[in-house]
Every structure is written in C-alpha cells, then in structure tokens.
Structure 1
C-alpha cells in the first residue's frame, strides 16, 4: 500500500486528538495531586456531567468503550439473566465475548431494521424466554445511539422503547459510543435523549469524537448506583491518574467542543454521500444520518481502493459494501481525494 495521505475513512478511531483536548491535558500536567479521582480536576468533570444529566446521575470515568458497555451490564444483570440487543450490536459482534465472560450473562440478539431494535421481535423473544427455568431470564434492552448502521433513534422511538421496558420490568442500557453525533443530528442535548426518556445506564463515548482515550459510564437510575464504583475497580478501569481522563471531558464540554466536532463529522459524511451518488456504479445502502456512509460499489474497485486507504468491506461477488466514517477533523479535501480515486475507477 502506498503511503496514505490526508485522513482515513475506515474509522473515526483513526483520527487524532483535538488540539483543545491536548492543551487541557498539558495544562493539568503540573505538580502532584491526589490519585484515583480525589483531585480537583476530576471533581470538576463529574460536576459537569451532573449539570448535563441531572443531579440524580452518577458518572465514572473509564478508558475505553468495551469496558463502558460491559461494566454497565455488570451492574444491571445477574449471571442467570439476559440482554436483548441488535444482531449487529457492538456487544454482540465486536467485543470478543466480553459481556459473557466478564458478566456471565447471555446476549439475546434480535433482528433489527437499519440497525434499530424491533420491539415486536423483542416481544416475541420475551414471551419465549420469560419464566422458563431452562432459559436465561431477560432483564435488559441494550441499544446503540447512533446504531452500528449509522441510523439514529428519534426521541419518540426511544420513548417507546423505555415505556415498553418499564411495562415489562426491563432495564435499558444505551451504547453511546457516537452519542455526540446522534445529538448533533437530532439537534438536542445529551439529557434529552437519555435521562429525560428513562434510560437507566449510559455508555458515554468520547474517543471517537476527538478525545484521546476517555469514556464514561453514566448511571442515570439511582437505584443501580451503589455497586458501580466497586464494579469499576474490579473491572480494572479505575484510573490512578484520573485527572488526565477528567481534563479531556472538561475540554470536551467547554464551548460545546463535542457538538462542533460531531457536527463537522456529520457534515463531512453528508458531503461524501453527495459526491458518491454522482457515480452510477455506486449506491448508498443506508440513509446518512451521522458520520457513517454505507455504500455498495463494484467488487473490482475494492482492491484498488485498498491500495490507497484502509476500508471496512463486506465482500460480494459482483458488488461489495463498504463503510466510510468521517471524523471531527475530516475536511472536504480528504473527501475529494477519496472521490478522485472513485472517479478514476468509474472511467475504466
């Protein structure tokens, strides 16, 4: 592969760290402070989370998204219980069995439409599993906002899910790895699509949107909060030098950096989609709502494109699907460079 120029479109994990975040990290890298979250910077960050999600919330700072999801479930289910999730959920597909290993619970994947959970499908599974002693007992619905297919649940859809869960004594977990992108797409704040709608526990993502390695677990349901500090420690996610996680979130919330970053990533995905649909050999396979573009293109194009940039590919005989992801620092020039390669292939 020739040297990659510009920014990659394979994943928003490929992006760097926003300069404002780096500046805040350098700012707090002075002197000695108490460890394990007893420092002033961490307390400031936790206060900001309360301001965003409500005084009833409690937040724990973590290193990565898999831990946020798995530890969230650890505090919500027992080992004989089960979690409903999309068959495409990160929990189901891309976490190497961590929920089953660390929590001991069972995942119950259900078919989804454009990445979104179907309450009808959950109802069918619920009827088949509940109160049958031979089967794991459903306890949690886990959804992703935005989903793995780049779709965004509307506030009405989220309200329907939480109402469904309450009526059936289920809890609701939200995987918010791209929560900022979803909030920017909907034009709402974080609480409006989480705490205000009855989400119980939230995995709050930051790494994909300009932070270095900072994620958070926001426990919105007070009845669940007591055990989580111990779950975090047992789960090897209690940072000793926690100020360096906290500082990233302070920069993230200042001047709505989270929104600026997400809005740019979303806008660049829209721009990319607009360029791609000009080629008759390319078809978008999903609506573009956040910073992900799913496109079907001739399989013969895949290898030449991979010579220029890594891509996530679902291979097919004649047509393959690729996922393209824009980032907080993607610019039109990066899109134009990629589309230039598409243009050359279209002319062959």
Structure 2
C-alpha cells in the first residue's frame, strides 16, 4: 500500500466515520437539512463552540467563499496574507462568486503582519477602491505556523477597531488546537473570531465542511444566509450523510485523536529526516513538514 506525503487529502476515511455513513443509509429523512441528524450535528457544534449558527457546505473552498460572502458589504474587499489559501489555491473562486477582491499582505511565515495590513487602511471607505472590511487568517497557516491565542486576539482587536470582520480558515484548526493544548472554543469564539470555516476532510471525514457563525448580529440574520447558501450552490440535498460525520467526529473525539496523531507523525518525520541529513525548514507544530530534498529523490517520491 502506497503512502503519500503530499497532502492529508490523500488519506481515506476514518472507519468510524464510514460506519456512521452506512448506519444513516436507511429509511427516508427530510432533505436539505430538515433531518434529525443535521439537527443533532448542529447541537454538537453548540456544545463545542457555545451558542452558534452552523451551516454545512460541500468542501473547503466552498466554506471559505460562502463564509466570506456572508460578511460581504458593498465595495468590500478581503485582507489576507499573500500565502492565504483563498488567494493562492482556490482559482479565484472568491472573486468569481462574490465579486470581492483580495488585498494581500506580504508574509514570510504565513501569518498576517498587522503593520503591513495598516497600509490598506488608507483605502478604507474610499469609494474609488475596494474597502478592506474583512480580514481572513488561516489556522494553522499554509506555511505550517500556528497563531497563538494572543495573536488571534490582537488581530480581532485590530479588526473591530477598524470596523472589520474576522474570518478564520480552519482547514487544519484541529491540528492547531492540539498543538496549543486549548479548546476549539478558546481558539475561536473566545478570541473574537466572527466566522469560522471548520474543516474536517483533512481530519478523517469523507466530505463536507461547516461554516460556524459566532458574531451575534450575523447570527440574527441566519435566515438570509440559508438563502445565500442556496444561491452559492452549497445546499446539499441528502444532508444527513454530511451531518452524521460531524456527530461521530465530536461524540467519538475523532477530531482530536486524528489531529494528535497527525501532529505526532509530522514530528516523527522531522526527527527521522534530520537523521539522514535532510533539512526541515519550518518549525513543526501541526501536521505540516517542509523539507529541502536532494533532487534525485524528489521524482521517486512523487510517484508514491
């Protein structure tokens, strides 16, 4: 059996998640989220994050685009590091779907540099240019770094001082939570995050992500966002198959166990690479390892 180091998306589905999918594949349930499993999954998100509104979508890029579409105002732009997944790896989906531009900030470590971000405040509320009304950060970042809770709070404070929303791309948030030994709530709601794209396809489930809304004013508009999800082509018919995965993910603590195993294996890989003289260029805290490999072994590894 081949094992790939390219991406956590190469892995299969956790056996307990697969079991849960088979168990709900019986009888009839109301479609489009009207089923008992979707209701229970939303309850699980409330237990984990506090009083939130949760909307399920198909995949990671969709969760980012839909979450940011929720935050969009007239003339809005999204301020993000130049390494952000929404900017580098989503094929311009945000701009195509929402019409919003991304204003990128130079970054050497994947994190948002607030001093650099301040330069864009000159564009704020100037109708000749897109206004940076939203900040988006990734946790963990695309460079493998992890924001501390204090760093997230600082960015949230900056956002609120300048009348901006804070979005978190949480494709690997579970790995970040394990690395910082905190809770999901402490990393998001308690740090002032307004909306989260919660990822789990990189952490054991088959498909489907969740958009989690913390901001009270946004929560009061949940009916609008149900319409918006449909317009953004993200309303799944047989929602029970998406929802049951999250019930199992939280009830069985799979989200934590998988993330911890991923982090531990990344650290193990770093240690073993160092023994054969291969340089790892990032501080390994989550499940991401960047290494400088000899040219002669790159192609064979790519064939795995």
Aligned with 2:7 (options 8, 11, 17): 11
Contact 2:149 2:187 in 1 (8 A): yes
Is contact 1:214-1:249 (8 Å) kept?
no
Task: Tell me if 1:171 matches 2:165.
Answer: yes
Q: 2:215 aligns to what?
A: 221
SS of residue in 2 equivalent to 1:6: coil
**In the alignment, is the contact (CA less than 8 A) between 2:145 and 2:283 conserved in 1?**
yes
C-alpha RMSD of matched pairs (Å): 1.2
The residue aligned with 1:322 is: none
> 2:117 maps to what in 1?
122
The secondary structure found in structure 2 opposite 1:142 is strand
Tell me by how many angstroms 1:16 deviates: 0.5
Q: Say if 1:78 and 1:103, in contact at 8 Å, map to a contact too.
A: no
Cα deviation for residue 188 of structure 1 reads 1.3
Q: Which of 75, 91, 102 is the equivalent residue of 1:80? A: 75
- Corresponding residue SS for 1:61: strand
**Structure 2: distance between partners of 1:131 and 1:47:** 38
Out of 129, 137, 152, the position equivalent to 2:131 is 137
Q: Number of paired residues?
A: 301
Partner SS state of residue 62, structure 2: helix
2:94 corresponds to which of 95, 99, 103: 99
TM-score by structure 2 length? 0.96
Q: Which has the larger radius of gyration?
A: 1
How far 1:79 moved relative to its partner?
5.0
Q: Post-superposition shift, 1:222?
A: 2.2
Q: Distance in 1 between matches of 2:138 and 2:74?
A: 22
- Residue deviations 1:266-309, cap 9 Å, x none? 100000000111223x21111101001001122333223334x2
Q: Say which SS state the counterpart of residue 293 (structure 2) adopts.
A: strand
Runs (4 or more) in structure 1 with deviation over 4 Å come to none
The separation in 1 between residues aligned to 2:149 and 2:106, in whole angstroms, is 21
Which of these residues, 227, 250, 258, is aligned with residue 253 of structure 1? 250
Aligned residue in 1 for 2:22 = 26
**What SS does the aligned partner of 2:253 have?**
helix
Tell me, in whole angstroms, the C-alpha distance in 1 between the residues paired with 2:212 and 2:116.
28
Match of 1:149 in 2: 143
SS at match of 2:289: strand
Q: What's the TM-score once normalised by structure 1's chain length? A: 0.84
Question: C-alpha deviations, 1:186-208, integer Å up to 9, x for none?
Answer: 11111101011110010000100
CA contact (8 A) 2:75 2:127 kept: no
Equivalent pair of 1:18/1:210 in contact (CA under 8 Å): yes
Q: Give me the whole-angstrom Cα distance separating, in 1, the residues matched to 2:56 and 2:280.
A: 37
Q: What 5-or-longer segments of structure 1 have no aligned partner?
A: 310-348
Distance in 2 (alpha carbons) for counterparts of 1:53 and 1:83: 25
CA displacement, residues 116-143 of structure 1 (integer Å, 9 cap, x when unaligned): 110111012223x124332111101100
Runs of 5+ unmatched residues, structure 2 = none
| Alignment partners' CA distance in 2, 1:79 and 1:9 | 42
Q: Aligned equivalents of 1:251 and 1:47: distance in 2?
A: 12
After superposition, give the CA deviation of every residue in 1:69-97 in whole Å (9 maximum; x if it has no partner).
Answer: 00111111135111111111110011111
Matched, 1:272 2:266: no
CA distance in 1, matches of 2:290, 2:26: 44
